[in-house]
Chain A
Amino acid sequence: MAMERQFCTFHLDDLFLGIEVLKVQEVIRTQEMTRVPLAPRAVRGLINLRGQIVTAVDLRERLGLAPLAEGRHPMNVVVRTDEGAVSLLVDEIGDVLDTDEDTYEGPPETLSAQARELIRGVYKLPERLLLILDTEKALALEFAEAGR
C-alpha cells in the first residue's frame, strides 16, 4: 500500500474529483466531436486524437448531474484502459495533488446512489474533500437503451 499517491484532479459541478495520475494519458481542450446515434446517453461522441478514435464519456451524465451550462466547453481527461484510450469530459481541470493515505476514507453515505457507485473513496484534504473516481465503473456503460 503506497502511502502517498498522486491524483489528477478536476471539477464537476461542485464536486472535486480525482483520478490516479498514472491512469491519465493526457488532458486536452474541447475537441470537435462526432456524436454517435443509438449510443448510451453518457457517450457524448467520438474525437480524433491524433489519428486515434477516442470515445468521450460525459461524467456529469454518469454521476447524475445536470448537463453543463450552454456555452461552456468541457475538458477531455484522456485515460488509459485495457481497450485503448477513453476520454472523460469534465468541467475544469485542477492540479495534480499528492495525498496522504491516512486521510483516506470510504465514500460518504450522503452521496447519491448513482454517484456512490462510481466513487471509490474520499481523501480529506485540509480545505475540501477529494473524491476518487473509479474509472472502470465510470466507463462500464449500460446498454439497456442502446439495444439492437
Chain B
Amino acid sequence: MSDMDDIVKEFLVESSEGLDQLDRNLVALEQAPGDKALLASIFRCIHTIKGTSGFLGFGKLESVTHVGESLLSDLRDGKKVLTPEITSALLQLVDAVRSMLSAVEANGTDGDKEFPELVALLTRLQKGEAAPAPAGKAEGAAPAKKGRKSGPTAVVAEPAAPVPQAVIPPPAPAVVAPAPVAEVPSAVAQAEAAEVKGPQASDSNIRVDVGLLDKLMNLVGELVLARNQILQYTATQEDSGFVATTQRLNLITTELQEGVMKTRMQPIGNVWAKFPRVVRDLALACKKQVRIEMEGKETELDKTIIEAIKDPLTHIVRNSVDHGLELPAERVAKGKPAEGRLLLRAYHEGGQVNIEISDDGGGINTERVKAKAIQKGVITAEQAARMGERELVNLVFAPGFSTAEQVSNISGRGVGMDVVKTNIEKIGGTVDIHSVAGQGTTLKIRIPLTLAIIPALIVSAGEDRFAIPQVSLLELVRLEGEEAQKGIEMVYGAPVYRLRGRLLPLVNLAHALRRQDGFWSPTRAPDEAVNIVVLQADDHAFGLVVQEINDTEEIVVKPLGKQLKGIGAFAGATIMGDGRVALILDVSGLAQQAAVFSERSRRAQGAAEATTRAQAADENRQMLLLFRLGADRRMAIPLSMVARLEEFTRGSIEHAGHHQVVQYRGRLLPLLRLSELLGDAGAAEERETLSVVVYAHEGRDVGLVVENITDIVEEALTVHRRSRGGAVFGSAVIQGKVTDLLDVRALIDGNDVLLFTGAESELATAGV
C-alpha cells in the first residue's frame, strides 16, 4: 500500500512539473507553430500522464488526457494546424489535469469531474478537419484497452521519456510503474528525442525536501551565532593554536553558510514561467495584444522570497495587461505598435535583487488617481493639491485605494496594490512606481537576496544595541567638536543636518524609541560627538542620530512574538555574539514612527525657521532661496521673506477679477507668474503642478510661481547692482553661477497685484 502511495506521489510530482512545462511550451508553440521538437515534447508529456494514470487506475484522468493526446497527435503529424482556439483548449486541458491531480493529491482519487465540455471541445477540434481518429468517444473503456490504442497514435513519440524520469528511483522496484507506458510506443526516433527541449533529468540531481533545507538553514544560523560568540571570545585569547582553529572555524562556517544558502536559491524564472500563460489568457480576455519579454530569468533568489513575491508579481503583471496596456486600436491611434510590450527584468544590484515590470501602455492618469483618492477619503483635496506627480502616482499603493470601479474579473481580485506593497515590504523589499503618461508604467521592486542571514550595522542608543540592516544604509557621518554643536540645525523643532548642501531630516534614535514610562530620556553632553547613520527609507534619506556606531555583523533574523508585532519600528530580533538579544530596526517603520516625511512643506517650514537664525548669525551672510525661471535663468530671493514653499496643481487655480488666485489655508493667495512678469517665456504653463514661493509682503501673502525651486544657500553676497533693473535689482555669483536677485517689493509695486488685506482674509475664512 505504501509502495503504491510512493508511486502516486512520484507521479504527482512528475506530472505537476510536466504541466508547468506544458504551459510554457504551449505558449511558446503558439509563437513558433512549426517547432516539431516542442510539439513532440508536449505530446510526450500528455502521453506520459495518460499512460501512468491508466496504470494507476485514474480512469477519468486517463480519458481526458487521451482526447488531448489524440488532438496533439494530429497536430504533430501535420494533419492539423495550431490555432489559438486549439491552444486555448489544450491549456484548458492542462488546467483540468491539474485540478484532477490535486484531487488525487487530496483524496487519492481523480475526483468526480469528468470535464465533458472540454472533452467535447477537444474532440470537435480534432474532428474539425475530419481527422479519422475516433478516440474522443472511447470513454469509459478499460485502461488497458486505451493503453494499447494509444500505441499506434504515438508513432513518433519518444517513450515515457526524460521529462518524468524519476530522479530518485521509485522505492519499490517490484512495482514497475512506468514500464507499461514505456513499452507502448516502442520503436522510436531516439535521435529526435535527443534534440528535444525540456528538462533533462540528470543523475547528479536529487530531490530534497524543503523542510529539510529550512532546518539546515536554521542550524547554520545557529552555527553563525555560535561562531560570532567564539570569535568574540577569541579576541581575548593568546593561545595561537586556539586562535588558528577559530579562524578555520570562521572560514568554514562562512562557506557552509554560503553553500546552504545556495541550496535554497532558485532562479526567478520559476515564478515567471507561468506569466506567458497568464498574459496570454488575459490578453485574449481583454482583446489586447501583448508580447511578454523577460530578461534575467536566471537571477537567483532565496526560495522563501520567491514564494513571497509570487502573488504580488502576478498581480502586477495582471494589472499591467488589464489596466496598463491599451486596446490595439487605441495604440495604433497613438502611433504605437498594436502589440503591447510587457517587460520583466531582474538583476542583481548591490546585494539586492531588482525586479522591474514595465509596460508601454498609457501610464497612470494622475488626475484620475487624485480624484479617486479624494473621493475615497485617502487624502484630502488640500493634501492632493500639494502632492507632486510622483507622490500622486504612488497613491495607488495607499490602503483603501482600490481601483474598484474598474474591476474586471481579471484584476481587482481583492489584492489591491496596497497588499502588493505590504507583502513586498514584509520581506524587506521596496516598491516604486514610475509612470509617464502615454508612454507606460514601470514598477520597480527591490528585494533582499535572502532573509535569513543579513549583514547589519550595530548601533547603540542609551545602553541598548540595535541592528540596522545594511541594505538601508547609505553612509555614516560623524560630527565632532564645533561641528557637533553647530552642525545640527532646528527647523520648527525638527532637527536637520546639511549633508552636502541638502537638508537631511534627523531622527534621534533614543527619542524615536522613547517610552511612556520615561526610561528613555536621552541626554547628550554638549561637546560629545554626534553620530549620524544616513538611511534610505522608501524614497527618502534621513539621518538617524545614535550614540555609538559599533561594528557590522552578520545577523540571523528572528521574528518577534505576537505581542510585539504591532511595533513598526522593529523588523525582528537577533542574538548577538555575547548571547544577548538585540532588536533589528525597521528603517521605514522608524521613519514613519518619527514622521520624518510627513509632508513636503516641512522643508519649507524648515527654510523659514532657518532664516531667523541666519539673520541673527551674520550680517554679511544671507540665506537665499534659489529657484529657476524658464530653462536656465537662476534667481534668488532672501529666505527671510519666504513664508512657505508650496505646490499647487493647475486645476486649483481660480480667478478673482483678472487675477489668478488659489485657495490657501482658508485664504486667497494671489499668484504672480514670474516668468510672465519678467519677460521669460516659461515652460511653467505646461506643467501640471506649479512650484510656488509664498512670499510674506507686509503681513500679506503673495505666491510667486517659479519653474522650480533648486536650493537654499547661505552666502556672503557681492551684488552687482543694475542701474534700472526694475524688479531685478542686481546679480551675484552664487554657487559659481550668475544669479539674478529679485526685488519682490519692486515687483509688487510695479505691477497691478491684488493683495488681500487682513480683514478681507478674515472674511474669507469666515465665509468658508
Identify the A interface with B (CB < 8 A). Answer: 32-43, 45-48, 51-55, 57, 81, 83-84, 86, 139, 141, 143, 145-148
Between A and B, 10 residue pairs with Cβ closer than 8 Å are A34-B464, A39-B564, A41-B517, A42-B563, A48-B579, A51-B575, A53-B575, A54-B561, A84-B561, A86-B561
Closest CB of chain B to A127's CB: distance in Å? 34
Q: Could you say which of A35, A57, A147 has the most chain B C-beta atoms within 10 Å of its C-beta?
A: A35
- A57 / chain B contacts, CB cutoff of 8 Å: 563
The 8 closest A-B pairs by CB, nearest first: A37-B513, A55-B561, A34-B581, A143-B566, A46-B581, A148-B568, A53-B558, A83-B562
Q: Is B520 an interface residue (CB 8 A)?
A: yes
- B593 / chain A contacts, CB cutoff of 8 Å: 38, 148
What is the bound-complex CA distance between A145 and B513, given in angstroms? 13
Interface magnitude class on chain B = 20 to 34
- A147 / chain B contacts, CB cutoff of 8 Å: 566
What is the bound-complex CA distance between A70 and B517, given in angstroms? 17
- Please determine whether A40 and B573 come into contact, CB atoms closer than 8 angstroms: no
Q: Could you say which of B515, B566, B580, B581 has the most chain A C-beta atoms within 10 Å of its C-beta?
A: B581
- B569 / chain A contacts, CB cutoff of 8 Å: 37-38
- A46 / chain B contacts, CB cutoff of 8 Å: 560, 573, 581, 583
What is the bound-complex CA distance between A47 and B580, given in angstroms? 7
- Please determine whether A86 and B579 come into contact, CB atoms closer than 8 angstroms: no
- Please determine whether A43 and B564 come into contact, CB atoms closer than 8 angstroms: yes
Q: Is B582 an interface residue (CB 8 A)?
A: yes
- B589 / chain A contacts, CB cutoff of 8 Å: 148
- Please determine whether B566 and A53 come into contact, CB atoms closer than 8 angstroms: no
- Please determine whether B580 and A34 come into contact, CB atoms closer than 8 angstroms: yes
- Please determine whether B570 and A36 come into contact, CB atoms closer than 8 angstroms: yes
Which B residues, 221 to 263, have Cβ-Cβ distances below 8 Å to chain A?
Answer: 222, 225
Q: Which of B563, B568, B574, B583 contacts A139 (CB 8 A)?
A: B563
Q: Is B592 an interface residue (CB 8 A)?
A: yes
- B573 / chain A contacts, CB cutoff of 8 Å: 34, 46, 53
Closest CB of chain B to A80's CB: distance in Å? 12
Q: A37-B513, A51-B225 are in contact. Are A43 and B563 (CB under 8 A)?
A: yes
- Please determine whether A86 and B225 come into contact, CB atoms closer than 8 angstroms: no
- A146 / chain B contacts, CB cutoff of 8 Å: 566-567
What is the bound-complex CA distance between A21 and B574, given in angstroms? 30
- B563 / chain A contacts, CB cutoff of 8 Å: 39-40, 42-43, 55, 57, 86, 139, 141
Q: Is B2 an interface residue (CB 8 A)?
A: no
What is the bound-complex CA distance between A37 and B582, given in angstroms? 12
Extra contacts, 6 of them, besides A39-B563, A51-B222, A146-B567 (Cβ < 8 A), are A32-B579, A36-B570, A37-B569, A48-B581, A54-B561, A57-B563
Q: Is B514 an interface residue (CB 8 A)?
A: yes
What is the 8 Å Cβ interface bit string for chain B, positions 569-597, against chain A (1 contact, 0 not)? 11001110001111100000100110000
Identify the B interface with A (CB < 8 A). Answer: 222, 225, 464, 513-517, 520, 558-564, 566-570, 573-575, 579-583, 589, 592-593
What is the bound-complex CA distance between A46 and B516, given in angstroms? 19
Q: Could you say which of B564, B568, B569 has the most chain A C-beta atoms within 10 Å of its C-beta?
A: B564
What is the bound-complex CA distance between A62 and B161, given in angstroms? 65
- A145 / chain B contacts, CB cutoff of 8 Å: 516
- Please determine whether B560 and A47 come into contact, CB atoms closer than 8 angstroms: no
- Please determine whether A38 and B464 come into contact, CB atoms closer than 8 angstroms: no
- B582 / chain A contacts, CB cutoff of 8 Å: 34
Q: A48-B581, A83-B561 are in contact. Are A36 and B567 (CB under 8 A)?
A: yes
- A36 / chain B contacts, CB cutoff of 8 Å: 564, 567, 570, 583
- A43 / chain B contacts, CB cutoff of 8 Å: 563-564
Q: Which of A48, A51, A52, A86 contacts B580 (CB 8 A)?
A: A48
Closest to B222 in A: A51
Q: A41-B517, A53-B573, A54-B561 are in contact. Are A47 and B581 (CB under 8 A)?
A: yes
What is the bound-complex CA distance between A39 and B560, given in angstroms? 11
Closest to A46 in B: B581
Closest CB of chain A to B587's CB: distance in Å? 14
Q: Which of A48, A55, A148 contacts B560 (CB 8 A)?
A: A55
What is the bound-complex CA distance between A110 and B437, given in angstroms? 69
Q: Could you say which of A32, A36, A141 has the most chain B C-beta atoms within 10 Å of its C-beta?
A: A36
- B558 / chain A contacts, CB cutoff of 8 Å: 52-53
Q: Could you say which of A38, A46, A52, A143 has the most chain B C-beta atoms within 10 Å of its C-beta?
A: A38
- A35 / chain B contacts, CB cutoff of 8 Å: 464
- A51 / chain B contacts, CB cutoff of 8 Å: 222, 225, 575
Q: Could you say which of B574, B575, B592 has the most chain A C-beta atoms within 10 Å of its C-beta?
A: B575
What is the bound-complex CA distance between A32 and B580, given in angstroms? 7
What is the bound-complex CA distance between A37 and B466, given in angstroms? 11
Closest to A145 in B: B516
What is the bound-complex CA distance between A101 and B528, given in angstroms? 65
- B583 / chain A contacts, CB cutoff of 8 Å: 34, 36, 46
What is the bound-complex CA distance between A9 and B598, given in angstroms? 50
- Please determine whether B562 and A139 come into contact, CB atoms closer than 8 angstroms: yes
Q: A55-B563, A147-B566 are in contact. Are A38 and B579 (CB under 8 A)?
A: no
What is the bound-complex CA distance between A86 and B574, given in angstroms? 16
- B564 / chain A contacts, CB cutoff of 8 Å: 36, 39, 43, 55
- Please determine whether B581 and A53 come into contact, CB atoms closer than 8 angstroms: yes
- Please determine whether B575 and A37 come into contact, CB atoms closer than 8 angstroms: no
- B516 / chain A contacts, CB cutoff of 8 Å: 41, 145
- A141 / chain B contacts, CB cutoff of 8 Å: 563
What is the bound-complex CA distance between A100 and B588, given in angstroms? 54
What is the bound-complex CA distance between A34 and B222, given in angstroms? 19
What is the bound-complex CA distance between A48 and B582, given in angstroms? 10
Closest to A144 in B: B566
Closest CB of chain A to B448's CB: distance in Å? 20
Closest CB of chain A to B463's CB: distance in Å? 9
- B592 / chain A contacts, CB cutoff of 8 Å: 148
Closest to B567 in A: A38
- B513 / chain A contacts, CB cutoff of 8 Å: 37-38
- A86 / chain B contacts, CB cutoff of 8 Å: 561, 563
Closest CB of chain A to B582's CB: distance in Å? 6
- B567 / chain A contacts, CB cutoff of 8 Å: 36, 38-39, 146
- B570 / chain A contacts, CB cutoff of 8 Å: 36, 38
- A139 / chain B contacts, CB cutoff of 8 Å: 562-563
- Please determine whether A53 and B560 come into contact, CB atoms closer than 8 angstroms: yes
- A40 / chain B contacts, CB cutoff of 8 Å: 563
- Please determine whether A38 and B562 come into contact, CB atoms closer than 8 angstroms: no
What is the bound-complex CA distance between A141 and B560, given in angstroms? 14
What is the bound-complex CA distance between A38 and B559, given in angstroms? 17
- B579 / chain A contacts, CB cutoff of 8 Å: 32, 48
- B568 / chain A contacts, CB cutoff of 8 Å: 148
Closest to B583 in A: A36
What is the bound-complex CA distance between A86 and B560, given in angstroms? 11
- A81 / chain B contacts, CB cutoff of 8 Å: 562
What is the bound-complex CA distance between A41 and B520, given in angstroms? 14
What is the bound-complex CA distance between A45 and B515, given in angstroms? 13
- A54 / chain B contacts, CB cutoff of 8 Å: 561
- Please determine whether A37 and B581 come into contact, CB atoms closer than 8 angstroms: no
What is the bound-complex CA distance between A55 and B515, given in angstroms? 18
Closest CB of chain A to B398's CB: distance in Å? 15
Closest CB of chain B to A36's CB: distance in Å? 6
- A39 / chain B contacts, CB cutoff of 8 Å: 563-564, 567
- B575 / chain A contacts, CB cutoff of 8 Å: 48, 51, 53
